[in-house]
Chain A
Amino acid sequence: MELFGIFIAAAVINNFVLIQFLGICPFVGVSGKLSSAVSMGMAVTFVMTMASMVTFLIQHYILIPAGIGFLQTVAFILVIASLVQFVEMVIKKVSTGLYRALGIFLPLITTNCAIMGLCLFAVMKDYSFIQTLIFAIGAGAGFTLALVLMAGIREELELADVPETLQGAGITMIVAGILALGFMGFAGMKF
């Protein structure tokens, strides 16, 4: 039940994109088409899960025992960057279908603050290994949900008569604002 609570909290109550503002760049950049939104969401969830596990091990078995906690930022970002590269190479080798689906989005993920944010939050909240894992999956699901919702709305928006000055990023932000209002409705939920 507690794990389920962590999942729901990460996915909707503290939605990474709409409530915590992490990963806004892909949210604005890749939410133009529904199909690419789904691929991006999958790629991010995948990397999040991997990165959270690896950074958990690094934090608890290298940084803390060695007393070099101040290297956290440097260590985490290097691990994430090399992990993304590694994942990209493995997927390319193992499954061309998946590589084609995720391919171009993978390099973009390195500087996606949602990944780094997730790893930092998991450490700050002092989660155990299993909790970290569930937290990562929940956050990925929430990211995908927000991205897919936004892409669906933006596909409809193409037919709408948006004022000229607000076209593009402006209207995207305002739509995101309205979505965030909706997600505030989850705020009272407790598990």
Chain B
Amino acid sequence: MAKKQVSIGNEFVKGLWDQNPVLRALLGLCPVLAVTTSAVNGLGMGLATTFVLVCASLIISLARKLIPAQVRIASFIVVIATFVTIVDLTMKAKFPALSKSLGAFIPLIVVNCLILGRQEAFASKNNPFRSLVDALGMGAGFAATLTVLGGIRELLGNRTVFGVQILPDVWEPWIVMILPAGAFLTLGLMLGAANLISRRRERIAVRMARAAALNERTV
């Protein structure tokens, strides 16, 4: 990389918030909406996607000099599809219940634009270690968002989080939260909240910079 290096720590942290794949970049929304009927499903999908993303990033950044530019998309897809098949078969064997509730969305990880996007934007241009860290950060951000979204929907729609009852029986479950409409509504509000928070942080950063400038002048 000719540009100035970003520290390894930042490479990881940016996936969690600043470039969060779901809340900021709107990538890979289909599984986000479809499987988050409970926190467990959200976490399971998040981890499966992270596994594929990390393995694929590692392989592709190792092979980045061997892949001709003309056929790179096809090569990426083959690598990704291989790991998706591994995840699919492993989950069917080890976690049949989770695999059943995620259904077709496990093989569909292959068309998750988040994964292909990271290969194209990052792994094909950076060394294996940085790509690994980037993939871990992006995967963690993705998994965290899915778990939170699944948790909110499960809490309001079923009174539980991770199967543990949180809200008292008096609470009338909001069935709509478990239904498809609830996914859209919750994600819409989460996007709004994320916007609100990042805007506030920007404002604080501007104020801090101004204060620092003032300090310098007075000193």
B-binding residues in A (CB < 8 A): 18-25, 28, 70-74, 77-78, 81-82, 110-113, 115-117, 120-121, 124, 163, 165-166, 169-174, 176-178, 180-181, 184
Contacts and interface: CB of A to CB of B under 8 A. Distances in A.
Contact of B184 (A74, A115, A117, A177): A177
A120 B89 CA distance: 15
Contacts of B60: none
Interface residues of B, number: 42
A23 B82 CA distance: 22
Interface of B: 26-27, 29-31, 33-34, 73-74, 77-78, 81-82, 84-85, 88-89, 104, 107-108, 110-113, 116, 176, 179-185, 187-189, 191-193, 195-196, 199
B184 A173 contact: yes
Contact of B116 (A70, A111, A169): A111
Which of A19, A72, A111 has the most chain B CB within a 10 Å cutoff?
A111
A70 B87 CA distance: 12
Contact of A21 (B33, B73, B110): B33
10 shortest interchain CB distances as A-B pairs: A173-B188, A177-B184, A174-B188, A177-B185, A21-B34, A180-B181, A170-B191, A74-B81, A24-B29, A21-B33
B188 A172 contact: yes
A178 B181 contact: yes
5 contacts: A20-B34, A25-B27, A77-B111, A81-B74, A124-B104
B73 A81 contact: yes
The interface residues of chain B, by DSSP majority, are classed as helix
Given A21-B30, A22-B108, A82-B74, 12 more contacts: A18-B180, A22-B30, A24-B33, A25-B26, A25-B30, A28-B26, A70-B89, A110-B73, A170-B188, A170-B189, A170-B192, A177-B185
A18 B182 CA distance: 11
A76 B74 CA distance: 12
A173 B81 CA distance: 29
Given A173-B191, A177-B185, A77 B104 contact: no
Contacts of B191: 166, 169-170, 173
A166 B181 contact: no
A170 B104 CA distance: 27
Given A171-B188, A181-B176, A78 B108 contact: no
Contacts of B182: 177
A173 B183 CA distance: 9
A111 B195 contact: no
A115 B116 CA distance: 16
A150 to B, nearest CB: 11
A71 B108 CA distance: 14
Contacts of B31: 21
